[in-house]
Structure 1
């Protein structure tokens, strides 16, 4: 019995010793400082930045002309092909002119008849005049002769007008290009009967040497635009707007830059926006009327703060960064974005110049964590931002 008690006492002593040693070991480990994570950090600065906003736009030629016949007749010849470039005055179509040439000949014949009538009436009046002066006859007959002469002269003028009208109609049988441009589809072919009342034109002619690109600004964007540029009137402000880019449907930039040159007279009540026009030169005809794209309009920002896109994280449609306090303790900071490019965000709210944020590796960091900052630099991206 005594041996058993001794054995239990020795075992308990050994257990307590082991537990004490393990506790001391754990305490030593807890008392040993864990090394802080070394994380790249940037210090933000403010500067002037230009953001660019892309506005959906429609592209129209400076002139889109419907080519329509002004007289009835069959198309004798088509002198152009679809898509061809034509110059002002070049012949496009020829309508059968025979009926209109005969109308001209008839009008000329009517004029000759009217001329003969004038001569005959003049002779009659001249014959009666001395008889009246000598009181051989009364002046009544002379008055009738003078009236007949005036009627003959009026018929002559009518015949001359008929000739002019016939010449105009005859000229309409030759259809010429009113402007330089490109021919559209030819809806009517040779031998087709055409006339002014036809619902569809013969073709369309587009002068694309200059393009009018229309886009819309919201009321807020319009207010920002007016505040951006100096001038006492909208016209003066428009003249201060720098050249704009045309972004095509494949996201490429049109080779020519454009100029904003017109604001609509009023806002659209349905959309709450105002139409703006920018004009682009297109001498090579690379674009055609009906193309689509986007106008890239710039807006300058003073004292703007930029952050690297890699330093942000999006959670439920909100953008966050990890900011550092004076003790290098992390806090997740929500920011509002005013614009962005491929590498930077323009901060609207949430950060200011001088704030420090983590540059990269934010996926492995936690709220409240203390870090060891490295590569402490000032971040000021010189490139413009794209909204």
Structure 2
């Protein structure tokens, strides 16, 4: 009995320990179950995100393509001397607007006046020689008829007379040449325009063989903007506008804009008036020319800019670039289904218009797409569409 009594407390403590172990395990299991249940309950309780949505529709859209352009005046010429001489006077300033025929520079006239006087004197001498030759012919003619002198003398006199006439014509030509050279001492503007730099100064010796011109004159009342199209662009250009010939097609071309170096748009529209007859073999491009009115003189020869061509697209869709995501060289949008779940859809781009994409394939009229918040979306996620996106899309498309 004593033996049994001594071991009874040990039996109770083991049983109690086992019960505590079982209770601990149950507590841990319940705790873990509650922890795993909370996120599911929170996820079920969280509402779907509210995102702006717009409906895609087809219509006529216009895109713009910019091409680098070089600007020149309609008259852009170098002013060079036609004779050698010393500049006597400079009658204009650099950058001055001059009129056609206005005197620009005066070369010293003295040596050319002397040449003209010599030529006139030689002409008078030649004319006197004609008179003498004519007198000789008149004197010998009746003597030959009377057979007083031989016919040979009369023929010689007539030949001398013809030579004297030729000398008169040569003397007249020398007078004209001297008069022309004297006129070249006055260098006049061949057209209206702006004067460039004047590197030569009063007293400088000038010559037609000088490597540097006296100045440059640019008529910029109208300016030409030259730009080039690559072969593929030119093929698309021809296919876009109707016409049976180049001249006929030019008539149907829309007005073009000129984007200046500061990215501002020149306020006057231009017109394409020339397409080159052949491609440049070295660049594989063809040159076109647009003409712009420039009555205020805002443009000068040598300016640069960009010609902006507008291309119209019928039955096309326009969406903001901000409503797209790019992954692995592909562009996607999130289309909204009838159950308000989004699907990632790949689209094909036909071009750009400002900050918008023209859609070639992947969407159809009536489809709804998400405008923003794309970085947090997943394929198949449920959203709550916000129709305010329609107004947002309209504002973006206008910009």
TM-score for the superposition, normalised by structure 1: 0.91
SS at match of 1:82: coil
Q: Which residue of 2 aligns with 1:292?
A: 304
Give 1:294 shift: 0.2
* Structure ranking higher in helix proportion: 2
Q: Using the alignment, how far apart are the partners of 2:33 and 2:146 within structure 1?
A: 160
Q: Which residue of 2 aligns with 1:60?
A: 72
Q: Does 1:181 align with 2:189?
A: no
SS at match of 1:140: helix
CA-to-aligned-CA distance 1:23-70 (integer Å, 9 cap, x gap): 479658746833322222112111110100010111111111111111
Greater CA radius of gyration, 1 or 2? 2
Q: Using the alignment, how far apart are the partners of 2:291 and 2:319 within structure 1?
A: 35
Distance 1:29 1:66, change over 3 A: closer
Q: Using the alignment, how far apart are the partners of 1:268 and 1:19 within structure 2?
A: 82
Give 1:383 shift: 8.5
Aligned runs of 1:76-95 on 2, under 5 Å?
76-95=88-107
Aligned runs of 1:241-256 on 2, under 5 Å?
241-256=253-268
Q: Does 1:228 align with 2:240?
A: yes
Q: Which residue of 2 aligns with 1:282?
A: 294
SS at match of 1:231: coil
Distance 1:17 1:161, change over 3 A: closer
Contact 2:371 2:389 in 1 (8 A): no
Which stretches in structure 2 are left out of the alignment for 5+ residues?
Answer: 1-10
TM-score for the superposition, normalised by structure 2: 0.88
SS at match of 2:179: helix
Aligned runs of 1:231-380 on 2, under 5 Å?
231-315=243-327, 318-375=330-387
Contact 2:64 2:353 in 1 (8 A): no
Q: Does 1:119 align with 2:136?
A: no
Q: Using the alignment, how far apart are the partners of 1:71 and 1:28 within structure 2?
A: 101
- When the two structures are aligned, how many residues end up with a matched partner? 386
Q: Which residue of 1 aligns with 2:26?
A: 16
Q: Which residue of 2 aligns with 1:5?
A: 15
- Higher alpha-carbon deviation: 286-295 or 29-38: 29-38
Q: Using the alignment, how far apart are the partners of 1:175 and 1:29 within structure 2?
A: 93
CA-to-aligned-CA distance 1:186-229 (integer Å, 9 cap, x gap): 12111011111111111111111111111111122112111211
Contact 1:50 1:384 in 2 (8 A): no
**Equivalent position to 1:147, from 115, 134, 159:** 159
Give 1:238 shift: 1.5
Distance 1:202 1:28, change over 3 A: closer
SS at match of 1:144: helix
Distance 1:25 1:85, change over 3 A: closer
Q: Which residue of 2 aligns with 1:99?
A: 111
Distance 1:53 1:87, change over 3 A: same
Q: Using the alignment, how far apart are the partners of 2:385 and 2:105 within structure 1?
A: 79
Contact 1:52 1:385 in 2 (8 A): no
Q: Using the alignment, how far apart are the partners of 2:381 and 2:260 within structure 1?
A: 47
CA-to-aligned-CA distance 1:217-259 (integer Å, 9 cap, x gap): 1122112111211222222222111110000000011121100
Give 1:90 shift: 0.6
Which stretches in structure 1 are left out of the alignment for 5+ residues?
Answer: none
Q: Using the alignment, how far apart are the partners of 2:396 and 2:346 within structure 1?
A: 23
SS at match of 2:54: strand
Contact 1:210 1:279 in 2 (8 A): yes
